Amino acid sequence: MQQQRPLYRFLTRWLVCSLGLWIAAGFLSSSISYGNRLRVIIIAGLILAIINVVLKPILIVFSLPALVVTLGLFIIIINGLTVFIASKLYTPLHVTNFWAAVFAGMVIGLVNYLVTAILEDTRKQP
């Protein structure tokens, strides 16, 4: 059972990234496009989840001074940077500018918070 836990967490992260990208693209349809194809959102979510596992911890370590000075708010910029990098690596997902990516990162963070809260609540119930 313990072996499946990291896989379960990664699959949840992938789902959250895909759902957050889809919602952000709905809000910012003029700045984020995916060709109205679900496959693009799913693959972009996978790429974003991989970036969040591999690259995001490195970005956080290098930006610790900015995180401390801004009391953690700089994480919003880091989330936007990861979305922007994902859009550059996977061109069917098109993000027009960095600020649209920052907004998408905020949406993904909010979706992540909500999904995590719901999953933790269902685990606590008997």
Give per-residue pLDDT as tens, 16-62: 999 999 999 999 989 999 998 999 999 999 999 999 999 999 999 99
Residue 33's φ and ψ, nearest 5 degrees, are: -130, 145
pLDDT of 126 = 63
Looking up tokens 């496009």, which residue turns up? 33
Q: Where are the domains of the chain?
A: 11-124
Residues with Cβ within 8 Å of residue 49, at least 6 apart in sequence: 10, 13, 14, 17
The answer to whether the Cα torsion of 36, 42, 43, 44 is positive or negative is: positive
Give per-residue pLDDT as tens, 70-120: 999 999 999 999 999 999 999 999 999 999 999 999 999 999 899 888 887
| Contact between residue 106 and residue 23 where contact means Cβ atoms under 8 Å apart | no
